[in-house]
Structure 1
Amino acid sequence: MSVSVDDFQQKHVSFNVVEAKDLPFHCPPKDAQKWSMHPKVFMKFNSEGKAACPYCGASYELV
């Protein structure tokens, strides 16, 4: 998976990269620490390949 735990926990990262092999993708990522998790949300990427989590605001870009 392309998203690291450190990237997930940073609030001001412009976006996290998601590869097609990681689909279906959800937030929080699989490797996020248990204590920092919100309910799992599967991301719906728009026509530009971007998605944002409604819980934590993390931004993702599909490459």
Structure 2
Amino acid sequence: MIEPVDEFQQKYVSYSTVTTKDLPFHCPPKNAQKWNMHPKVYIQFDKDGKGACPYCGASYELS
């Protein structure tokens, strides 16, 4: 079941596009600031080219 997006998520969760040259892609990205790190997790994209990080909720889309 998908949880509705709350006010915090609308304000603070990031959304980024990813190119195929960035694959395999992981979160946090290479350019993330050290204070904002969580364990590295590789993002799986669905058939529509969308994926999300299970730790921080950041959304990614293949372009």
Percent identical? 64
TM-score computed with the length of structure 2 as normaliser: 0.77
Structure 1, gaps ≥5 residues long: 1-9
Structure 2, gaps ≥5 residues long: 1-10
| Residues 44, 51 of structure 1: 8 Å contact kept | yes
Distance between the aligned counterparts of 2:12 and 2:26, measured in 1?
17
Match of 2:44 in 1: 44
Match of 1:5 in 2: none
Count of aligned positions: 53
Larger-Rg structure? 2
TM-score computed with the length of structure 1 as normaliser: 0.77
What is the deviation of 1:17? 0.4
Match of 1:56 in 2: 56
Structure 2: which amino acid aligns with 1:20? T
RMSD over aligned Cα, in angstroms? 1.3
Distance between the aligned counterparts of 2:18 and 2:30, measured in 1?
12
Distance between the aligned counterparts of 1:51 and 1:42, measured in 2?
10
What is the deviation of 1:35? 1.3
